[in-house]
Amino acid sequence: MSETGAQASRLHERGARIALCKEQPGRLRSSRFGNAVEPLNTSPITLEGEHVRLAPLSLAHTDALIAAAGDGELWNTKVTIIPDALGMPAYIQAALDGQSSGKELPFVIIRKPANEIVGSTRFYDMSAKDRKCTIGYTWLAKSAQRTAVNSECKLLLLTQAFETWNCVRVELVTDVLNQQSRTAILRLGAKQEGILRKHLILPTGRVRDSVFFSITDDEWPVVKQGLLSRLQTSAS
User: What is the predicted pLDDT for the residue at 24?
Assistant: 40
| 132 three-state secondary structure | strand
Q: Over the stretch 126-180, which tens digit does the pLDDT of each residue have?
A: 999 999 999 999 999 999 998 899 999 999 999 999 999 999 999 999 999 999 8
Whole-number mean pLDDT of the chain?
87
Hey, where are the domains in the chain?
3-167
The model's confidence at residue 35, banded by pLDDT at 50, 70 and 90, is: low
User: In this structure, which amino acid lies at residue 189?
Assistant: G
On the CB side of 6, CA atoms within 13 Å amount to 3
* Cα-based torsion angle of the residue sequence 168, 196, 142, 92 in order, rounded to the nearest 10 degrees: -70
The model's confidence at residue 21, banded by pLDDT at 50, 70 and 90, is: very low
How far, in Å, CA of 222 to CA of 187, rounded?
Answer: 12
Topology given in CATH for the domain delimited by 3-167: Aminopeptidase (3.40.630)
Look at strands 132-140 and 105-111 and give their pairing.
Answer: unpaired
The model's confidence at residue 29, banded by pLDDT at 50, 70 and 90, is: very low
For residue 195, with 0-12 CB atoms within 10 Å meaning exposed, 13-18 middle and 19 or more buried, which class applies? exposed
Of the listed ranges 32-46, 56-70, 72-86, 206-220, the one predicted with least confidence: 32-46
Entry pTM: 0.84
User: What is the predicted pLDDT for the residue at 67?
Assistant: 97
